[in-house]
Structure 1
Amino acid sequence: MCTLFSRCCSFTRVRLRLLGLCKTTPPATYLYTGPSKPNVRCPNSDLEKYKNLQKNFKRRLRATYSRFSGSQDKSVICGHNYVYSLEREGIYRMDRRQNEAELLLNLEQCSPGGEESGERGEWAVQRVRVSPSERHLAATIKSSHREQARCVVVKQGDAASTPKDLSHIIFTLDNVFSFEWANDEVLFYTTQEGLRCNRVFRLDLKSPAAVHRPVFEDTQPDVFVEVALSRDGRILTINSNSKTDSEVWLIDVTTPYLEPLLVQHRLPELMYHVEHWGDWLVILANTGPGQEYQVLKAPLAGPSLGSWVPVYTPCPGVTLKDMEVVGDHCVLTTREASGELALTVVPLANPLGGYSLLLPLWACSCESRRPGPAEPHDALHFVLSSPAHPQVPFSFHPKDKLLLSRPEAEGPSPEKGSGGKLSITKRLQVQSQDGTLVPVTLFHSVAAGRLQQAPLLLHVYGAYGRDLSMHFSPESRWLLERGWVLAYCHIRGGGELGLSWHRQARVEGKPAGVEDLRACLLQLHSRGISSPSRSAITARSAGAVPVGALCNTDPHLIRAVTLQAPFVDVLGSMADSSRPLTVEEREEWGDPTADPQHRLAIASYCPLHNIAPQCYPSMLLTAYSNDARVPLAGVIQYAKKVKEAVHTHLTALHGAECEHAPRVVLNVQPGADHFGPNHFDLMLEESALQLAFLYTELGLASPPRRGR
């Protein structure tokens, strides 16, 4: 499977849910680093109003994170001899025979940039790969100061012989994005230059000098290249993808020095991704009805397009979200027409014997876990969650049709909050301006009769064919327990309803996503859910485009907005080909320099270029000084223009009464990149500030402080 870079907000692994979706670099895992002192923040007078309330919320959020710490994914890798886990100091391994843990990789001592900056405790492990026989371990570590990661290769020995210093680190590779072991001595990896990744290298540890050799390069300016290992560990794939087409090359791990084998050369609008099954390839491609995804198979000896045979085509209304080959079965995560998640199982030797299994009704997110070197490959391990429900581990055995939950630690009930209130999940459909039905997922714990008085926080994204994130969030759970209603609007431009859902809001179709967002707010209010004076929207990155456009056209529908790393200057960015991502993303936004229709479409909704004197919602804009995807200058210009528009509007009233005086607050986080801070304490500060802002601007009574 393949990922591409874009203006996205969160990590998605190399799985089907990426396919055609938003492609991002994996963010570092949040690591709590104890009492170490985080960066000193620059003083900002606009933030002083929220300072005391922010401290209160930070304490409460810390307690909430502590409540749910037992239900978090522990990122454990099971090897033949050791179990590996990520902790705040780095990577630990525990000897299965002695049941003793040791620090294998000290994060603080090998962090990139630590020597120059003098800072400690803000580095995090991004990805870990253990070689088949556990002779070596490779891991990427990353700072929030830069997107490029450093790959560290560790030579492992017996617990008794492992040195206590860093002499077992045998190699470091800078600017690495993806990497996989072909065997215990050969590592394939891709290098990242700026925000692009187009070259693959092979590191041979057998050679005395640890030779690096180039293996593959794609010179097209709009592609992103990465390497991935098949689930059975037999085939390594080189995936070269643009926003609209794909090309995959294969390397047999038993002969890693041979030239890669091409599956199918690139064709316009053909997107495909491969897995391995015996002498066959299992292919996921958009060759189904309406150019949607279907499952096919092809012989490994001759895998080009002419040999592809359909194995499974989903029914109308069913969307493929993920694919795994588990033993002799193709296991698909699907979104049913009702909006619920399901597992669809296709026996590869007998495709007509397939069946589906609905997952729990509350499940909104399904994250499959890669098996470790010592784990059996005939079962699928995955985690279910929702914004309101903590992670619950499951294992599925397709041969026996057996689905088992695996609660690894006692924790709060998925449905009930700390006060015993039942969290209700509803899946709604609202009608957009052109008649299109838009899915909305609603969460609340208050009685139906009190919904109109409840504050509403609406989440939205709608770009790159990427699903709106529906993972568990302690912040979301905390809000639900205090009477908030949370709405997740799956507007066009995302991927919830398949590739066509994305295509309807690409380039000239972008305004459709804005209309969907407007319809969601209007119909939620008309159904008796909250009111404009108690409604707020939150979004990140490209999700700021429909939000900013709505603030220009219908500011009366909401009272407050929080935007992180907001992409607000679409017209300026797409007109400047010297900026990172511009050429790659013209398939998403259009090319205003070459196509007048594209320019007109972008100019019609671009948040920065449609600001007018009026009473805007209050805004909290969080930007990051090292953000290479969304330039800080554009966010600063947007904040300035909105402030000026509000001032002009209020001045024109000549002292007449105004319902509310909106505040536009710009919070610039120094040192962080597009994905925000890695440091747990700084992450809490950012979330606590957003809560303080929302409570203040919506006029809500803040929760009372607890006594000792």
Structure 2
Amino acid sequence: MSPLAVLRSVSRSLNAGRLSSQRRWTGPAARLHTAGCVTTSVHCSGAELGKLRGLERPFERRLRSVYQRFTDVPDHAAFQGSRHAYIVEGCGIFRVAYGEGEQDLVQVLRTDWAAVDGTIQKVRLSPTESVLAATVKNNHCEEARCVLVQLEQLTIPQKPLLILDKVFSFEWATDDVLFYTTQEGLQCRHVFRLHLTDAGAQSMLVYKEKDPEFFVEVSRSKDHRIVTVNCSSKSSSEVWMIDSRSPLSHPTLVQPRQPGLLYHVEHSDSQLYILANTGPGHEYQLLRTPFTSPAMQHWEPTFSPGPGAVIKDMEMLQDHCVFTMREPLGQLQLHTIPLKAPNHVTILQLPSWACAIETQRFGMVDSDAFSFLLSSPVHPPVRYHLSPTRKQPLSQEDDLQHTLLPEYHTTRLQAPSQDGTMVPLTLFHMQPLPDMREAPMLVHVYGAYGLDLNMGFCPEKRLLLDDNWVLAYCHVRGGGECGLAWHSAGRLQFKKKGVEDLSACIQTLFQSGVSRPTLTALTARSAGAVLAGALCNKHPQLLRAVLLQAPFLDVLGTMQDPSLPLTIEERGEWGDPLIDSQHRDNIASYCPCHNISTQLYPSMLITAYSGDSRVPLSGVKNYVERLSKAVQTYSSSLCTKGHIPTILLDLQPGGDHFGPEDFDQSLSESARQLAFLYTMLELDYKGARQKTTGRRKKKKTIETLSLTPVDPLFS
């Protein structure tokens, strides 16, 4: 795991936090069942529900077709060892020796060995590839079991070497020493060392976190020299390290935690490389210190980004360090730095359509190269290779598949918020912007925990683009697109800034001639629903429809209940209303559930999960009941017939905050949401599809350059 990935995981993936997560797209799987849509509002007639359900099946067929178009693109579910390549497929892990063909695939792990109905989450190979460890997460809750498999003397059928319960993160120090953290509820505070000996396996506690605001996980340096214990809160971090050459020794503290200090540790050639927020503006920079002198007073600055640019990720190679950088308007770059000559920076511009990057190292520890996938919400992954020592360091795999895609535009612009702050926007559209007044638009927002909007490939978004929708991604304050300061500017007492940014983005698009309110929908999930719900309370006239998934809507009620699993850890993001009256008043001023009024709201489809342990279902139901009552009161007061919003609660079984793992269930859920959008915006999906059927084989995707509009309304 890369350094910033470790720091971000305090609030991401299966860590503590109500986060935005986009489902990973995969190929078809076995069909299970589909849960229905439940209405909780008297304003949803039987005819409207029938129309929605009638459209769901056609959209499901269309989605399957879109997924089928992209079955051959690169996938990140493959990884490399020193002697074999491994593939995660369906309910198992398979491997093949280098030089052999697909017919020689051998299964090395099955999920049913973990005795749970689950999916594979993480995989780690021991240093000499003698043992494999993988976590299998239960599809109906967030707990995972770690399965260890012997690889050197592989037998068919294979039996697990060992199974560990409630494991979150894990890393090998040697072939017989594994460090792992356990997850109790949604909290990780304990680190154990598993020692595999001839006499059996011995597990010992090596670290216990006492502060409930901190989350603990383990990671490993890219050269495998050290295992790190990373203790992180929303505002500070602390790292302990274990030398893999003496894995039974006690962890060594790098730098004691202090308020406001975030850092992560890498290792190369007896040097520690520290990524810390000690740069200008308290943004991340790279520092270096001898392995034997890890404390902060010995840190020496090595690299800082230029004005306006921020570090989004870091990869350590044998002799180079590679940074993923984001420019002010969102353009991605790679900065390659020789470790022995850090002033000689090579800047590699990535394609203008690229919005998401996922790295993948080669199996050799001493490799000075790595591969990565580039994608966008509408552009499938393309694999690139970076080899800093070559004359042409950046290369890509054959991209013929993508020549069959219709042309589209990627446009980056900015919107002036209420206080003058320029907020980045990323648009995907088929037609030039001046021709998009009558196009439907789907707006995306998150704006919490310092996390970027998920902008990886999503076939559902590709379907909308093919139907001539505009897809708008609003990078509002509270997120991480513009660095740590961007997050600080949209959390705690500044949370309403994110709402102002979202409103400014939508209004700027309208003023630019892009879509109009009756053709505009907003989508958000988890903590992103806070901004979406607050916008609906304050500016409902901007939208016709809203999609909310696993939404966090009752911020005030949740943060006043410390018995809930995330309340204490979340205080750094939302505040503590129990001990600070200003925090309480601030939360109360924007909390979606506590600011509903009698007015014309947009129609809403709210998807929630009955056993969601991150977002209390009671808060979702409370919001739906209050909203339904307000809509009913408003509509009953209308003297003339007008638009009456539809409020739907799609309550699904299961305890996973991130939606169904099963492909068919996931597909049905997406089809239901698409049917809702087309119904509420009064769109003919068949007609929309026909507009693009003649565009399937146009030239390769256009790469439009980033731009900042010069129209007076942007200044």
Fold in common (TM above 0.5) = yes
Give the Cα separation in 2 of the matches to 1:31 and 1:341: 25
Q: Is 1:79 the equivalent of 2:81?
A: yes
Matching residue within 637, 646, 655 for 1:663: 646
Per-residue displacement from partner, 1:274-321 (whole Å, max 9, x unpaired)? 111111101011111221111100110011010000001111101110
Per-residue displacement from partner, 1:578-599 (whole Å, max 9, x unpaired)? 1111011111001111111111
Q: Is 1:591 the equivalent of 2:580?
A: no
TM normalised by structure 2 equals 0.91
Q: Is 1:484 the equivalent of 2:486?
A: no
- Where does structure 2 lack aligned partners over 5 or more consecutive residues? 16-20, 40-45, 694-715
Q: Please say if residues 385 and 391 of structure 1, whose CA atoms lie closer than 8 Å, have aligned partners that are also in contact.
A: yes
Matching residue within 533, 538, 541 for 1:556: 541
Equivalent in the alignment of 2:106: 102
Q: Is 1:25 the equivalent of 2:26?
A: no
Q: CA RMSD in A?
A: 2.1
User: Could you tell me which amino acid in structure 2 is paired with residue 110 of structure 1?
Assistant: W
TM normalised by structure 1 equals 0.92
Secondary structure at the aligned position of 2:481 is classed as coil
Describe how 1:185-204 pairs up with structure 2 within 5 A: 185-204=176-195
Q: Please say if residues 562 and 619 of structure 1, whose CA atoms lie closer than 8 Å, have aligned partners that are also in contact.
A: yes
Equivalent in the alignment of 2:713: none
How far residue 557 of structure 1 moved from its aligned partner, in angstroms, is 0.4
Q: Please say if residues 182 and 188 of structure 2, whose CA atoms lie closer than 8 Å, have aligned partners that are also in contact.
A: yes
Secondary structure at the aligned position of 2:324 is classed as strand
Q: Please say if residues 20 and 243 of structure 1, whose CA atoms lie closer than 8 Å, have aligned partners that are also in contact.
A: no
Matching residue within 677, 680, 683 for 1:697: 680
Residues 203 and 33 of structure 1, relative CA distance in 2, 3 Å threshold: farther
User: Could you tell me which amino acid in structure 2 is paired with residue 700 of structure 1?
Assistant: L
Per-residue displacement from partner, 1:407-427 (whole Å, max 9, x unpaired)? 2675233xx63xx3x210111
Describe how 1:1-150 pairs up with structure 2 within 5 A: 15-16=4-5, 18-19=7-8, 22-25=11-14, 34-38=29-33, 47-96=49-98, 99=101, 100-107=104-111, 109-114=112-117, 123-150=118-145
Give the Cα separation in 2 of the matches to 1:134 and 1:58: 42
Equivalent in the alignment of 2:374: 384
Equivalent in the alignment of 1:333: 324
Residues 98 and 398 of structure 1, relative CA distance in 2, 3 Å threshold: closer
How far residue 21 of structure 1 moved from its aligned partner, in angstroms, is 7.2
Aligned length: 675
Equivalent in the alignment of 2:439: 454
Equivalent in the alignment of 2:698: none
Per-residue displacement from partner, 1:553-580 (whole Å, max 9, x unpaired)? 1111000000000000000011111111
Matching residue within 550, 565, 570 for 1:580: 565
Residues 111 and 32 of structure 1, relative CA distance in 2, 3 Å threshold: farther
Give the Cα separation in 2 of the matches to 1:98 and 1:551: 57
Secondary structure at the aligned position of 1:703 is classed as helix
Give the Cα separation in 1 of the matches to 2:669 and 2:49: 12
User: Could you tell me which amino acid in structure 2 is paired with residue 697 of structure 1?
Assistant: M
Give the Cα separation in 1 of the matches to 2:361 and 2:514: 41
Q: Is 1:474 the equivalent of 2:459?
A: yes
How far residue 382 of structure 1 moved from its aligned partner, in angstroms, is 1.1
Q: Is 1:649 the equivalent of 2:651?
A: no
How far residue 371 of structure 1 moved from its aligned partner, in angstroms, is 3.1
How far residue 95 of structure 1 moved from its aligned partner, in angstroms, is 3.3
Give the Cα separation in 1 of the matches to 2:422 and 2:76: 38
How far residue 324 of structure 1 moved from its aligned partner, in angstroms, is 1.3
Describe how 1:279-294 pairs up with structure 2 within 5 A: 279-294=270-285
How far residue 78 of structure 1 moved from its aligned partner, in angstroms, is 2.0
Residues 561 and 112 of structure 1, relative CA distance in 2, 3 Å threshold: farther
User: Could you tell me which amino acid in structure 2 is paired with residue 345 of structure 1?
Assistant: T
Give the Cα separation in 2 of the matches to 1:42 and 1:441: 32
Give the Cα separation in 2 of the matches to 1:599 and 1:645: 24
Q: Please say if residues 568 and 606 of structure 1, whose CA atoms lie closer than 8 Å, have aligned partners that are also in contact.
A: yes
Per-residue displacement from partner, 1:76-133 (whole Å, max 9, x unpaired)? 22223322111113111123465411221122x224444xxxxxxxx21111111122
Q: Please say if residues 70 and 410 of structure 1, whose CA atoms lie closer than 8 Å, have aligned partners that are also in contact.
A: no
Per-residue displacement from partner, 1:537-558 (whole Å, max 9, x unpaired)? 0011000001100100111100
User: Could you tell me which amino acid in structure 2 is paired with residue 346 of structure 1?
Assistant: I
Q: Please say if residues 38 and 679 of structure 1, whose CA atoms lie closer than 8 Å, have aligned partners that are also in contact.
A: no
Residues 401 and 643 of structure 1, relative CA distance in 2, 3 Å threshold: farther
Secondary structure at the aligned position of 1:454 is classed as coil
Calculate percent identity across the aligned residue pairs. 49
Residues 66 and 20 of structure 1, relative CA distance in 2, 3 Å threshold: closer
Q: Please say if residues 492 and 572 of structure 2, whose CA atoms lie closer than 8 Å, have aligned partners that are also in contact.
A: yes
Secondary structure at the aligned position of 1:73 is classed as coil
Q: Please say if residues 112 and 143 of structure 1, whose CA atoms lie closer than 8 Å, have aligned partners that are also in contact.
A: no
Q: Please say if residues 333 and 344 of structure 1, whose CA atoms lie closer than 8 Å, have aligned partners that are also in contact.
A: yes
How far residue 686 of structure 1 moved from its aligned partner, in angstroms, is 0.8
User: Could you tell me which amino acid in structure 1 is paired with residue 108 of structure 2?
Assistant: L
User: Could you tell me which amino acid in structure 2 is paired with residue 398 of structure 1?
Assistant: P
Per-residue displacement from partner, 1:391-432 (whole Å, max 9, x unpaired)? 11111112336333332675233xx63xx3x21011101000
Q: Please say if residues 27 and 67 of structure 2, whose CA atoms lie closer than 8 Å, have aligned partners that are also in contact.
A: no
Residues 440 and 409 of structure 1, relative CA distance in 2, 3 Å threshold: closer
Give the Cα separation in 2 of the matches to 1:32 and 1:551: 36
Give the Cα separation in 2 of the matches to 1:236 and 1:614: 56
How far residue 150 of structure 1 moved from its aligned partner, in angstroms, is 0.8
Q: Which has the higher contact order (CA 8 A, sep 6+)?
A: 2
User: Could you tell me which amino acid in structure 1 is paired with residue 397 of structure 2?
Assistant: P
Describe how 1:154-303 pairs up with structure 2 within 5 A: 154-158=149-153, 162-164=155-157, 166=158, 168-303=159-294
Residues 641 and 603 of structure 1, relative CA distance in 2, 3 Å threshold: same
Residues 149 and 296 of structure 1, relative CA distance in 2, 3 Å threshold: same
Equivalent in the alignment of 1:433: 418
Matching residue within 375, 382, 390 for 1:400: 390
Per-residue displacement from partner, 1:599-620 (whole Å, max 9, x unpaired)? 1111110000000111100000
How far residue 672 of structure 1 moved from its aligned partner, in angstroms, is 4.2
Give the Cα separation in 2 of the matches to 1:638 and 1:280: 53
User: Which is further off, 317-326 or 20-29?
Assistant: 20-29
User: Could you tell me which amino acid in structure 1 is paired with residue 260 of structure 2?
Assistant: E
Q: Is 1:610 the equivalent of 2:600?
A: no
Give the Cα separation in 1 of the matches to 2:332 and 2:100: 41
Secondary structure at the aligned position of 2:582 is classed as helix
User: Could you tell me which amino acid in structure 2 is paired with residue 532 of structure 1?
Assistant: P
Give the Cα separation in 2 of the matches to 1:15 and 1:454: 38
User: Could you tell me which amino acid in structure 2 is paired with residue 59 of structure 1?
Assistant: R
Secondary structure at the aligned position of 1:494 is classed as coil
How far residue 37 of structure 1 moved from its aligned partner, in angstroms, is 2.5
User: Which is further off, 520-529 or 206-215?
Assistant: 206-215
Q: Is 1:632 the equivalent of 2:632?
A: no
Residues 670 and 173 of structure 1, relative CA distance in 2, 3 Å threshold: same
Residues 697 and 14 of structure 1, relative CA distance in 2, 3 Å threshold: farther
Give the Cα separation in 1 of the matches to 2:105 and 2:128: 19
Per-residue displacement from partner, 1:444-479 (whole Å, max 9, x unpaired)? 002434200000000000000001111111111111
User: Which is further off, 611-620 or 396-405?
Assistant: 396-405
Give the Cα separation in 1 of the matches to 2:552 and 2:671: 22
How far residue 325 of structure 1 moved from its aligned partner, in angstroms, is 1.4
Give the Cα separation in 1 of the matches to 2:146 and 2:34: 25
Give the Cα separation in 1 of the matches to 2:3 and 2:316: 14
Equivalent in the alignment of 1:358: 349
Residues 285 and 628 of structure 1, relative CA distance in 2, 3 Å threshold: same
Give the Cα separation in 2 of the matches to 1:233 and 1:264: 21
